[in-house]
Amino acid sequence: MKKTALYDKHVSLGAKIVPFAGFEMPVQYSGVTEEHFAVREKAGLFDVSHMGQFFIEGPGAKDLLQFVTTNNVDALENGKAQYSCLPNENGGIVDDLIVYKMEDDKYFVVVNASNIEKDWNHISKYNTFGAKMTNASDDMSLLAVQGPRATEILQKLTETNLSEIPYYNFAVGSVSGVNNVIISNTGYTGSGGFEIYFNNENAEQLWDAIINAGEAEGIVPAGLAARDTLRLEKGFCLYGNDIDDTTSPIEAGLGWITKFDKDFVSKDTFAKQKEEGVTRKLVGFELQDKGVPRHDYPVVDAEGNVIGKVTSGTQSPMKKIGLGLAYVDKPHFKLGSEIFIQVRNKNIPAKVVKAPFV
């Protein structure tokens, strides 16, 4: 089991540690609900150093990324990032990822921890373009400073003007005396903030600096459990739950990152789905009665026929109701449709709604 550079810090803070994607990770500190509200109302600091980081560079870098990802890498300018996915040859998703354009012919790619090796092998397989690939996953750390007060906290530690970095843009600068930090206006919480990437040896220094800088604003350390409830309230997909090797971006509602004005893996399959429609879709739902939906719970119709399954579910701290994401068969995936979630052999009525939920 791997550990991030901040493992000892989490233990000293009394975090509950659990195995996640091959890493010993902090799942919570003070408690999920408290951490969740801190991020929605003030700020939270997450160690997400388990994520994978690749550098792809050289004259063939853009062509390689253009072919292995669904989004249009051509549209990226230096200092911009885009959400995308790696399609497989069977019309499924190898992973979702963020592609950063560092400079001409140099890209930085961030992938999910559970897929580092799989993604590396997949991209390498298509590297007939002569691009230079570097797996920096074991050498880099990633902190997410999230919440409405995250920007003012981080601004105390850097001369880079954070207000000049729009959403899905980034800069490379100095934070608390550490140089060459990638400062990215991205996140997985839907509450705003930044993600910063840097070398492992600076992890404790930057963690302490951010916690100290945010004391007056009420920043708290936050774990993976709150990260999950936060992303779910915003309807963000989690790989392994809501998307995987068998789901297409069109089914998953990721058509907006699937650009057909270029060639890429499984393009024809997705184009056909877009044109003809799909037989199932990933939808948001809210329970109309008490209950907590969970991953893999069956979705049924009024007659009790199975019409899908829950991929992610929780009790929303903000709305105080059960909500989640589920793949639902046609025609039940229409907005406003009444469906039922089987929670412990009880069929609880739910309504198909548009995410985000909050």
In a shared domain, residues 149 and 229:
yes
Domain that holds residue 305: 279-353
In a shared domain, residues 42 and 151:
yes
Average pLDDT over residues 100-111: 99
How far apart are the C-alpha atoms of 354 and 204, rounded to whole Å? 40
Please give the tally of structural domains in the chain. Answer: 3
In a shared domain, residues 165 and 106:
no
In a shared domain, residues 284 and 159:
no
Contacts of 236 (CB under 8 A, 6+ apart): 188, 190
Whether 249 maps to a domain, the answer reads: no
Q: What is the pLDDT of residues 135-190, one digit of tens each?
A: 999 999 999 999 999 999 999 999 999 999 999 999 999 999 999 999 999 999 99
**What are the Cα distances from residue 301, in Å, to 185, 224, 342, 343?**
41, 33, 10, 14
CATH classification of the domain holding 304: 2.40.30.110
Q: What pLDDT is recorded for position 322?
A: 99
> H helices of the chain, where?
7-12, 32-41, 61-68, 116-125, 150-155, 203-213, 224-233, 267-276
Q: What is the pLDDT of residues 313-330, one digit of tens each?
A: 999 999 999 999 999 999
* % of the chain exceeding 90 in pLDDT: 99
**Token pair 């992610």 is at which residue?**
312
Q: What is the pLDDT of residues 218-245, one digit of tens each?
A: 999 999 999 999 999 999 999 999 999 9
Q: What is the largest CA-CA distance in the chain?
A: 63
In a shared domain, residues 109 and 209:
no
Q: What is the pLDDT of residues 240-276, one digit of tens each?
A: 999 999 999 999 999 999 999 999 999 999 999 999 9
| Binding-site sequence positions for substrate | 195
Please report, as a single letter, which amino acid is at residue 85.
C
Q: What is the pLDDT of residues 290-317, one digit of tens each?
A: 999 999 999 999 999 999 999 999 999 9
CATH classification of the domain holding 195: 3.30.1360.120
In a shared domain, residues 105 and 146:
no
Question: Which one of 135, 157, 180 terminates a domain?
Answer: 135
In a shared domain, residues 164 and 223:
yes
In a shared domain, residues 44 and 56:
no
Q: What is the pLDDT of residues 46-91, one digit of tens each?
A: 999 999 999 999 999 999 999 999 999 999 999 999 999 999 999 9
Query: Average pLDDT over the chain, rounded to whole?
Result: 99
| Binding-site sequence positions | 195
Q: What pLDDT is recorded for position 345?
A: 86
Q: What pLDDT is recorded for position 80?
A: 99
In a shared domain, residues 37 and 142:
yes
**Quick check: helix, strand or coil at residue 35?**
helix
